[in-house]
Structure 1
Amino acid sequence: MTTPKGEARRAALVAAAAALLAAHGPDAVSHRAVAAAAGLPLAATTYYFRDLAELLVAAVDRVGEEETAAARAAVDAAPPGRRSTRETAALLADVLLGADRRSDAQVQAFYERWLAGGRHPALRPVLRRTRARLDELVDEVVERGGHRAVPAARLVALADGSALAALVEGGGGARGALEDAVADLLSRRRRW
């Protein structure tokens, strides 16, 4: 049975791991870094978590919950009614990347978390749940914006591919590349 102090320590470790993950990607999550960020002894990470993988899963879950809640808030705060393809693309970037994720370094850390599912199979169920919730919001944004239905999977694939290509090519502007590609797809769908 866990004590209130133990639950608080565990929550502090998860919060610290989530902050490291969101800012720097999964490689930043180590026992030592998490303990230091939480202000707890190194041994606390192995006391409250079987291994680093379990801590990483908890951090990915927390970040996914926070990002989904922020995306929901962004969708709810958007004015109702038809919007331009550019406005819809900007809102979709907020849903997919997060409204506060502007720099290429932040976008790269975001995608590294998703790619970590390949190296850490335990992350896959958590990432799938987050992706499903975000896909529902993508569908809602497109529908509420007055655009023809574009499958969320297609929009997300285009958005992710555009952002990742911009990161690989360098020169900045991954978020802008994502918005440009999505706006172009939505405007083409409007003409069909």
Structure 2
Amino acid sequence: MLVTECTTGEEEFIQRIVTRYLYLKQRGLVISPRDWQYICRWLAQNIPLITVLKALEIGFAEMTEHTARVRSLAYIDRIVTRLERERRLMQIGRPKENETKSTSEVMRDGLTRIIAELEEIAKKEGDLAHPISNTILNIRRLIDEIDTRSLDFDHILKRVTQIEDGLFRSVFNRFEEEKKRYYEKKADKTLTR
């Protein structure tokens, strides 16, 4: 993506990130092609500018004299991902202005919507139905915990992140098993020839 192909809003998004990053980095006049890819990806994912700028501030604040310098936006990307996940989770549970719901009610409603979406995905995906159903079960357990105990937002966010990581590991392990079976079959065919 060239800057000339961008809309005014996209151009401002890119320019503000580049300017702030180079200012905090305190060296360089341009960003690397790799850093450019991160900015384009954030733009494509519709991550708000304020989230990226906050991640830049956090990333550079975490650096001290004894740790490595931020050399690319790859380090900042994990912070952007974390902040975006937190932002999305908070949006899921945001009540309407005229409603007054407790945090647990809001989170329960948001998690119930996630379960409905995962059930739709599980119907479409044959191979991934098992890991998805395990994730649904874990989310239901979390909802039960929310109902029985008063959990704070940080605890709920931590549990949702654990559930999300569990789903990723399950899908990755399933992929690795399929890859292993494929190569075993390929080796068997080679040996029988």
The two structures have a TM-score, normalised by structure 1, of 0.28
Bigger radius of gyration, 1 or 2?
2
The two structures have a TM-score, normalised by structure 2, of 0.28
